[in-house]
Structure 1
């Protein structure tokens, strides 16, 4: 044989002068085959470089033992921690995981989802891109009754398990915290409101201002993709207002960091002159100076739960008539960027 990849059970059988069915049974640990024969066959298979065709075997069984994951950005700590949780559960249950990132682009997300569908994954775990305002690509899975679990950025209109946090309370807690620290004009750097996630945080921000009898100034609300460039541009825009804010609730820690870098560059003191709070608790938030206040999501635990729900549904003989929406807790972590000296 010129290529080891071409070795088959028939080649092994000829070498050992036994039947191919015996080789197959031995390689699959059939109890009908003696231990000595199994060891002999497995040793010969290893020597010859035999590689089982697991794809063909799985397709015959209508199961690939593979889960697809689609996240917006793998380099964000929240998403990488979530993936770790999924992999822990999936590996223990005998599933492989295919991980893809959409880069927060709808067209790339659609291509990935179509590709995972074509590759016959047994289930899908997904968090939407910031551009996602149509869901036909996910309907491919729903129509074929292939389980989906959405997390963080979800599709309320589709029947699927969902793992979320209370985004309204995220916005409310972040804003009220700044109010309690003595800030009077609080801005909000929001994500795209095409997503319920950011709409709900916006609603929480507004509710906290109303509860504390503070005016809602639309000039203090800026919509963006929450990148570092967006954070820098937003703080420049806010400080140029006739009545600039003295604090900001940012939709993530990345944009909060960008605001802080600019504020320090122009000589403003944090938190005395300006207060900041972000979201997600990225690792850098604790180590920069000043450290950044934030709200923490239980990313790893969300990944564990998402994988458990997906695998349960994959292995269930009956399609579920009711799906769960599980709301995980968030924790406000007060650090230097919002701890105002009064």
Structure 2
């Protein structure tokens, strides 16, 4: 089927004026007669004319498009962050392209290269759990493509970052468990190279130290894979002798805690009577399962908006911009998977 989309040439023919005059009128050039400009705009609307964004971007070296890479769009935390980004980006005249790495380093690299090939004006990345090398992101910086990292970040790159206070959130979660009488608290974390896992582990250890509880290395778990391994590792902890078994589980995030809760139910282990469980992120389903999950809530929508704000600040003064880390507060949400104080 022939493409019937209106062009600048169509407007020029209809008005019997030159193509260059139409082009200048659409750009708002001051040297175009006001009546001519009005006629051009009216005809453009009548013909449903849409400007060629590709041609425009080549001319002005800007696409007004931002690239976003997250591990999993299906997780509420990331979909909420993307919503905040889109809201703020739209306010500043940008559209967005969204990719997901599915926790794969190779897929994340492919996403970065694809977005760069599409000439996005900036990139927003929450790294996969497999990402240990950052050369693909450094390449963006070498090409002067602004990068903002959010949630899953690294200290190895000098870029703007948006995170929550993972240490404080973890500290509050473990402190709550201690105040409910738990003493053998296990930490179910991610890879050792995983920034948020290490920050939350620090909060976990500092809470134990604050209450004079010696950490047990057997109860500190680092999972390399986050979908199936955590449940299997918890099963192993439950097979320890009764005096070595954990009486509480502090999980890296809700997507780990929720399958763990399901497994405990299948094994007829009562929560919180036999063991307490705490998550992190506050996925919507966490409040509706039985028992409802005690968790740490992150302001994901606001994190997304803040990431765009940092990009706008950087774009306004590239020469003097100093990469900053924006740290946002968390909130402990107490539900039924932990005992009452």
TM range (shorter): over 0.9
For residues 13-44 of structure 1, what are the alpha-carbon distances to aligned partners after superposition, in whole Å with 9 as ceiling and x for unaligned?
12321111221133334455566544543454
Alignment of 1:80-95 (within 5 A): 80-95=79-94
TM-score (norm 2): 0.92
- Secondary structure at the aligned position of 2:337 is classed as helix
Distance 1:228 1:130, change over 3 A: closer
Q: For the Cα contact (< 8 Å) 2:182–2:247, is it kept in 1?
A: yes
Name whichever of 9-18 and 254-263 sits farther off: 9-18
Query: Which residue in 2 is equivalent to 1:156?
Result: 155
Q: For the Cα contact (< 8 Å) 2:185–2:248, is it kept in 1?
A: yes
Q: For the Cα contact (< 8 Å) 1:86–1:306, is it kept in 2?
A: yes
Distance 1:79 1:107, change over 3 A: same
Query: Which residue in 2 is equivalent to 1:235?
Result: 234
For residues 261-280 of structure 1, what are the alpha-carbon distances to aligned partners after superposition, in whole Å with 9 as ceiling and x for unaligned?
12122222211111010000
Q: Report the CA distance between 1:213 and its aligned residue.
A: 2.2
Q: For the Cα contact (< 8 Å) 2:271–2:337, is it kept in 1?
A: yes
Q: For the Cα contact (< 8 Å) 2:190–2:226, is it kept in 1?
A: no
Gaps of 5+ in 1: none
Query: Which residue in 1 is equivalent to 2:335?
Result: 335
TM-score (norm 1): 0.92
Query: Which residue in 2 is equivalent to 1:271?
Result: 272
Distance 1:252 1:109 in 2: 21
Distance 2:119 2:40 in 1: 32
For residues 284-332 of structure 1, what are the alpha-carbon distances to aligned partners after superposition, in whole Å with 9 as ceiling and x for unaligned?
111111110001111111111110110221233x423521111100111
Query: Which residue in 2 is equivalent to 1:300?
Result: 301
Distance 1:303 1:279 in 2: 18
Distance 1:257 1:231 in 2: 11
Matched, 1:66 2:65: yes
Alignment of 1:289-328 (within 5 A): 289-316=290-317, 318-328=318-328
Matched, 1:249 2:253: no
For residues 162-208 of structure 1, what are the alpha-carbon distances to aligned partners after superposition, in whole Å with 9 as ceiling and x for unaligned?
11122222222221211111012111110112122111211221222
Distance 1:315 1:116 in 2: 22
Gaps of 5+ in 2: none
Distance 2:100 2:51 in 1: 30
Distance 1:226 1:277 in 2: 19
Query: Which residue in 1 is equivalent to 2:106?
Result: 107
Distance 1:192 1:236 in 2: 19
Alignment of 1:102-181 (within 5 A): 102-181=101-180
Q: Report the CA distance between 1:48 and its aligned residue.
A: 4.9
Query: Which residue in 2 is equivalent to 1:282?
Result: 283
Distance 1:2 1:75 in 2: 38
Distance 1:47 1:3 in 2: 17
Q: Report the CA distance between 1:93 and its aligned residue.
A: 0.7
In the alignment of these two chains, the number of paired residues is 339
Alignment of 1:175-254 (within 5 A): 175-224=174-223, 227=226, 229-242=228-241, 243-254=244-255
Distance 1:310 1:70 in 2: 15
Q: Report the CA distance between 1:225 and its aligned residue.
A: 5.4
Query: Which residue in 1 is equivalent to 2:25?
Result: 26
Q: For the Cα contact (< 8 Å) 1:228–1:257, is it kept in 2?
A: no
Distance 2:165 2:44 in 1: 54
For residues 100-150 of structure 1, what are the alpha-carbon distances to aligned partners after superposition, in whole Å with 9 as ceiling and x for unaligned?
111111001011111111221111111111011111111122112221111
Q: Report the CA distance between 1:11 and its aligned residue.
A: 3.4
Distance 2:37 2:2 in 1: 26
Distance 2:245 2:198 in 1: 23
